Structures are given as structure tokens and as C-alpha cells.
Amino acid sequence: MSPRIESGQLCTVEPVDPRDIHPGDIVLCKVRGTEYLHFVKSVQDGRFQIGNNRGHINGWIGHHAIFGRLVKVEP
């Protein structure tokens, strides 16, 4: 399975209120000092479970680690 967003594609991310983040959203987040685009898999008590498009779960992060939601990907 290939990634939904290829390396080098221009992505537009907009700020988002944590209350408006839902499973299925793609967010720009910081994990262990590195920024990634990840799927939100689950939301629970102000925490967000993130993962990739291959079904792997990366773990839980707080709203402070989310910079915005993906709104556009250029081809």
C-alpha cells in the first residue's frame, strides 16, 4: 500500500480547534520532536490516537502536539 501523500507534495494545513478534530481527520502533529501528518484514529478525553494509512497505531498525543488539520494536497 502506498502513502496517500507522497514525499514532496505541497500540503496546506490550517489551525483547528481541538474540539473540532474527529477520527478520520489528518493532522500535522509533533511526535518525539519530529513533525508528521497522521490520521486521527480515535478521540478520548482530550487525547488523540494517531496512526497511518496502513492500520498502524502510533499512540496517543494531547492537543498541544497538534498544529493543524490538513485541508489540501497539491498533485
Whether residue 1 has pLDDT greater than 50: no
Name the pLDDT band for 54 (thresholds 50, 70, 90).
confident
**CA–CA distance, 66 with 48 (Å, rounded to integer):** 9
The full set of domains in the chain, from first to last, is: 13-73 (2.30.30.140)
CB 1 within 8 A of CB 53: yes
Q: Give this prediction's pTM.
A: 0.89
Residue located via cell numbers 480547534: 17
Name the pLDDT band for 51 (thresholds 50, 70, 90).
very high
**CA–CA distance, 38 with 5 (Å, rounded to integer):** 11
62: closest CA among 51, 47, 50?
A: 47
Q: What is the pLDDT of residues 7-36, one digit of tens each?
A: 889 999 999 999 999 999 999 999 889 999
45 φ, ψ to 5°?
A: 50, 45
Determine the residue type at 67: F
